[in-house]
Amino acid sequence: MHPRSIALAGAPLLLAACATAQPAGEGEAIAVRPPTSDNPADTCRAEPGQRFTGQRASAETGAAILQATGARTLRWVPPDTAVTMDYRADRVTVRYERDYRITQVSCG
């Protein structure tokens, strides 16, 4: 085999090795809090998070949502963004509009 052919054949493998995986739901920001003794299973409870609907999305609001829901992971979902449908008992998902008003707080 010609040396140039070998180099061209191996190029896709080299490019694949340099690629980085995008997080699920491109553009989302994820915050994680450490496990706590008050919720050792870190299971999300959506009901307490409902009070944040209509509030402005911010780092402070996100921290309050994590605390209120008992979730370990926070997933922000900007407008017009697709996200994975995989279920995670320790995750709270917060959707917001272009004006940063929270429209939905759900678990999973």
pLDDT digits (tens, 9 = 90+) for 32-51: 555 555 555 669 999 999 99
Range 25-107: architecture per CATH: 2-Layer Sandwich (3.30)
Half-sphere exposure of 9 (CA within 13 A, CB side): 6
Mean confidence (pLDDT) of the chain: 77
pTM score above 0.85: no
- For the cut 70, the answer to whether the pLDDT of residue 106 exceeds it is yes
pLDDT at 85: 87
Per the model's pLDDT, the better-predicted residue between 102 and 37 turns out to be 102
Cβ contacts of 9 within 8 Å, gap of 6 or more: none
pLDDT at 51: 97
Question: Is 69 in contact with 92 (CB distance < 8 Å)?
Answer: yes
The H or E element containing residue 31 is strand 30-32
